[in-house]
Structure 1
């Protein structure tokens, strides 16, 4: 976390990617990125849900342990899932503490900056648990905010700015800004002392984070701010279909197996 602060001062762009199992963790490790996030986006990427809300604390722990077996160099951060920290500081302490005790994660990420959330962040930080903040499009609030760009009006931008300052005051070591106007993210980058990591927030941030599956073209639908580097899903489908056809063809052309000789007397 101190390295991220140094990178901000030096103007070195911070890179962050998500991982959801040991395989994707190995990809992220090999990428050379600075931060690996076990995001609750795995509810959609890996578990087939339509939102991040259904994933449980136990499931997040399970996936964090798997990712941790492949991650050695990047800072490993885990999302606290829905209802693991919105129900008071005690439950949040227990949930966040488990990530640091039972997985290789070194920090947790929380969404939002309502008074209840900032009280939780203050408690976690004072107890020695590093916290990354997250503002803008917060997927755990999808039923209230939707999936669209956030903070588009001047009043909303000022509210988000105040929340960002509050998260810094409460001790967050970095802040993710998702799907907000680039001008606002650029302003906050210069105003905040902590690193500002954008996702769909324009290029003028201290760092960038993406869902690895989106970046690699592995998801059926892409966010509007992500252009996949590969068309992996179609490529994988073609190769798997080709393999199945090859096996069927080989089975049709192979000689029929010979019948075993019946056992002789006294077998």
Structure 2
């Protein structure tokens, strides 16, 4: 699936589906289940790498995880999340970092936490052939400035989101993530622009939805208030590991079925 395919899904009766993926086995399962876009999010920092936030995640780390996801994906679009300070300072370096995700990690597109400072970068990248997914509302890379709170709750802030949505649309973004904004704001932005909106904590009226896979499958210890847990992978993992520990401690594992013997090698000492 390519950016053109996603753009053409604007206004479809069937919403787009997107989940985060950080490794090849997970990516394979998500694609088998019908997920259309796999986001290699900088959330890998706090969900896989043990960081307290997304801020420490590097370009190398995103590239490595993106390559793993891409190797396991045939049909789903793979979107690489550009990490903190990989863009916004030196425009040429930003282009190099984004281009690396396509050239080396085999991503289909990049996602950029957007603002007034990313409009020209979005235009330049799309002109160079790098599809860009914009991201407005709650932008975790700005948590030290804005905090992790719902955005667009005042009229002026909502108008700024709408204005930036139009600017990134005109700059060439093929879709727009709206995170943790009031549902009625997301609905108006969705109606106002010609590219698909992908909501996360933004209500039911977006053109698609995205969540972290850890929350969906029940791997996280907790879930965001706007999320939903659809399984209990954490519980299943704990149960399986507890059974393994008990089997080893009791001597039940490994049994003869798990062992191989050579009849001619019995007198080594």
Q: TM-score, normalised by structure 1?
A: 0.91
| 3-state SS, counterpart of residue 10 of structure 1 | coil
2:29 to 17, 27, 30: 27
Counterpart residue number, 2:261: none
Q: TM-score, normalised by structure 2?
A: 0.91
Counterpart residue number, 1:127: 128
Looking at structure 2, the residues matched to 215 and 139 of structure 1 have their Cα atoms a distance apart, in angstroms, of: 19
Counterpart residue number, 2:250: 249
Gaps in structure 2 of 5+ consecutive residues: 256-265
| C-alpha RMSD of matched pairs (Å) | 1.9
**Structure 1's 262 and 28: CA in aligned 2 closer, same or farther, altered over 3 A?**
closer
Gaps in structure 1 of 5+ consecutive residues: 255-259
Q: Post-superposition shift, 1:92?
A: 0.7
Whether the 8 Å contact between 2:178 and 2:186 is mirrored in structure 1 is: yes
Q: Which has the larger radius of gyration?
A: 1
Looking at structure 1, the residues matched to 136 and 181 of structure 2 have their Cα atoms a distance apart, in angstroms, of: 9
2:112 to 101, 110, 113: 110
Looking at structure 1, the residues matched to 153 and 12 of structure 2 have their Cα atoms a distance apart, in angstroms, of: 30
**Structure 1's 36 and 251: CA in aligned 2 closer, same or farther, altered over 3 A?**
closer
**Structure 1's 262 and 121: CA in aligned 2 closer, same or farther, altered over 3 A?**
closer
Counterpart residue number, 1:169: 170
**Structure 1's 97 and 261: CA in aligned 2 closer, same or farther, altered over 3 A?**
closer
Whether the 8 Å contact between 1:18 and 1:28 is mirrored in structure 2 is: no
Counterpart residue number, 1:205: 206
| 3-state SS, counterpart of residue 132 of structure 1 | strand
Counterpart residue number, 2:263: none
Counterpart check, 1:67 vs 2:55: no
Counterpart residue number, 2:142: 141
Whether the 8 Å contact between 2:16 and 2:208 is mirrored in structure 1 is: yes
| 3-state SS, counterpart of residue 133 of structure 1 | strand
Looking at structure 2, the residues matched to 130 and 194 of structure 1 have their Cα atoms a distance apart, in angstroms, of: 13
Q: Post-superposition shift, 1:112?
A: 1.8
Q: Post-superposition shift, 1:221?
A: 2.4
Looking at structure 1, the residues matched to 268 and 111 of structure 2 have their Cα atoms a distance apart, in angstroms, of: 68
| 3-state SS, counterpart of residue 87 of structure 1 | coil
Moved over 3 A (4+): 260-263
Whether the 8 Å contact between 2:24 and 2:72 is mirrored in structure 1 is: yes
Counterpart check, 1:76 vs 2:78: yes
Q: How many residues align?
A: 258
Whether the 8 Å contact between 1:109 and 1:132 is mirrored in structure 2 is: yes
Moved more, 93-102 or 243-252: 243-252
| 3-state SS, counterpart of residue 120 of structure 1 | helix
Q: Post-superposition shift, 1:40?
A: 0.8
Q: Post-superposition shift, 1:251?
A: 5.8
